[in-house]
């Protein structure tokens, strides 16, 4: 059958997250053609994209991708039998071995009942992603918690809540390692099946990933912060970033001191000390705290108004709240 090469190449790009670098499980580094669909599966992620062919079989992903990427013809012909798939262009023909036995596990693709996601779901998971934990010993904290109209995340040193425009029907955990891939699909619907999350977009592609079956901790108390509220300078993120230039990774806590109409950042390390200060509107008691500069910089890129409590810094935006723990 004839097919537009550029459109096929775009579909193959969408399928990349479901491919394994090495074939740890059978066919995990292959493109799986089924009537009207093409799929990839690597035991953690499955991707299904609509493709109007009647082809059926499994082909090596790297080799097939390179053919489709490099062939110059805009319209190509795809044919297959029980031994090979043939890609034809003008004055060119490529034969690639095909396996007609498909061993894909039974993951649903013909999902009939989908639930609508809030319009700002992608914004919510994108914003909360940086607060997820990277410590695999506690899998729950490596996930985003999606419940009702809230997306939550925490790594025990900071926490974020985004309040979405509407509610989701189910509660589920989205592992942090899949957030970037989910965002690329611009999901508008979701479905849950046993240990799998399925996300669908407006072109009918389905991104599926494993979820974590556990209960996310209650982080509500993190956001109960009382203290002085101030607006930091608009370029304070850059000031914080520069203040720890002379520190090694294990030394990365900086001191932030508030005095009358002045904020000072000090980063002290074995190699020396960096100090920067700036004028602000402040007429409260002197305050001196220590905080992780990397964590602080990330939130300062979004908001400069902060409430400084004894244990945490609280940032409140239009539809989110974020806290950063103070070193004690």
The two structure tokens encoding residue 254: 């900086």
The per-residue DSSP string of 84-98 comes to EEEEEETTEEEEEE-
Mean pLDDT of 97-101: 93
In a domain, 106, yes or no: no
For residues 28 and 30, give the distance between their C-alpha atoms in angstroms, rounded to a whole number. 6
Which residue blocks in the chain are alpha helix, DSSP H?
5-14, 61-70, 121-128, 179-184, 236-243, 293-300
Please give the pLDDT value at position 41.
Answer: 93
Residue at a domain's end among 186, 219, 252: 219
The boundaries of the domain holding residue 70 are: 2-97
In a domain, 54, yes or no: yes
Helix (H, G, I), strand (E, B) or coil at 283: coil
| pLDDT band per the 50, 70, 90 thresholds, residue 313 | very high
User: Helix 293-300 crosses helix 236-243 at what angle (to 10 degrees)?
Assistant: 160
91 and 126 belong to one structural domain: no
| pLDDT band per the 50, 70, 90 thresholds, residue 304 | very high
288 and 237 belong to one structural domain: yes
**CATH code of the domain in which 130 resides:** 3.10.150.10
In a domain, 63, yes or no: yes
In a domain, 181, yes or no: yes
CB 6 within 8 A of CB 13: no
**What is the sign, positive or negative, of the torsion defined by CA atoms of 287, 290, 294, 296?**
negative
| Cβ neighbours around 292 below 10 Å, total | 19
Give the rounded distance of the alpha carbon of 178 from its chain centre.
5
125 and 215 belong to one structural domain: yes
The two structure tokens encoding residue 149: 């109209």
pLDDT in tens, 104-129: 766 666 688 899 999 999 999 999 99
Residue at a domain's end among 219, 251, 275: 219
Domain count, the chain: 3
19 and 50 belong to one structural domain: yes
pLDDT in tens, 196-221: 999 999 999 999 999 999 999 999 99
- Residue 193 pLDDT greater than 80, yes or no: yes
Please give the pLDDT value at position 111.
Answer: 82
248 and 285 belong to one structural domain: yes
For residues 257 and 245, give the distance between their C-alpha atoms in angstroms, rounded to a whole number. 18
133 and 215 belong to one structural domain: yes
In a domain, 206, yes or no: yes
Helix (H, G, I), strand (E, B) or coil at 141: helix
In a domain, 60, yes or no: yes
Please give the pLDDT value at position 269.
Answer: 85
247 and 295 belong to one structural domain: yes
215 and 229 belong to one structural domain: no
For residues 212 and 196, give the distance between their C-alpha atoms in angstroms, rounded to a whole number. 9
Which residue blocks in 143-215 are alpha helix, DSSP H?
179-184
With 0-12 / 13-18 / 19 or more C-beta atoms within 10 angstroms meaning exposed / middle / buried, residue 147 is middle
Residue at a domain's end among 219, 244, 268: 219
In a domain, 102, yes or no: no
Please give the pLDDT value at position 182.
Answer: 96
260 and 198 belong to one structural domain: no
In a domain, 313, yes or no: yes
318 and 231 belong to one structural domain: yes
257 and 198 belong to one structural domain: no
214 and 230 belong to one structural domain: no
């Amino acid at each position: 059958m004839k097919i537009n090469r550029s459109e096929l190449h775009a579909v193959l790009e969408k399928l990349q997250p479901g491919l394994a670098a090495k074939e740890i499980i059978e066919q995990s580094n292959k493109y799986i053609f089924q009537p009207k669909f093409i799929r990839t599966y690597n035991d953690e992620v499955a991707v299904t994209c609509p493709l109007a062919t009647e082809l059926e079989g499994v082909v090596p992903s790297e080799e097939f991708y390179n053919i489709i990427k490099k062939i110059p013809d805009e319209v190509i012909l795809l044919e297959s039998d029980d031994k090979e798939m043939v890609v034809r262009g003008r004055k060119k023909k490529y034969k690639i071995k095909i396996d007609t036995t498909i061993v894909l596990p039974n993951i649903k693709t013909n999902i009939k009942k989908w639930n609508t996601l809030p319009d700002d779901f992608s914004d919510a998971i994108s914003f909360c992603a940086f607060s997820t934990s990277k410590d695999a010993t506690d899998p729950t904290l490596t996930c985003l918690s999606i419940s009702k109209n809230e997306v939550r995340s925490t790594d025990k040193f900071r926490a974020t809540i985004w309040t979405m425009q509407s509610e989701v029907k189910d509660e589920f955990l989205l592992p942090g390692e899949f957030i970037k891939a989910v965002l690329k699909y611009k999901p508008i619907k979701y479905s849950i099946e046993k240990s799998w999350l399925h996300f669908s977009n407006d072109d009918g592609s389905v991104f599926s990933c494993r979820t974590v079956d556990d209960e996310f901790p209650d982080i509500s108390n993190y956001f109960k912060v009382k203290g002085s509220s101030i607006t930091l300078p608009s370029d304070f993120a850059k000031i914080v970033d520069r203040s720890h230039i002379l520190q090694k990774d294990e030394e990365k806590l900086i001191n932030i001191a508030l005095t009358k109409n002045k904020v000072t950042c000090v980063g002290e390390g074995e190699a020396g000390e960096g100090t920067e200060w700036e004028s602000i509107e402040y007429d409260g008691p002197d305050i001196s705290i220590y905080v992780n500069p990397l964590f602080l910089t990330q939130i300062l890129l979004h908001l400069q108004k902060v409430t400084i409590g004894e244990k945490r810094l609280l940032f409140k935006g239009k539809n989110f709240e974020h806290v950063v723990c103070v070193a004690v």
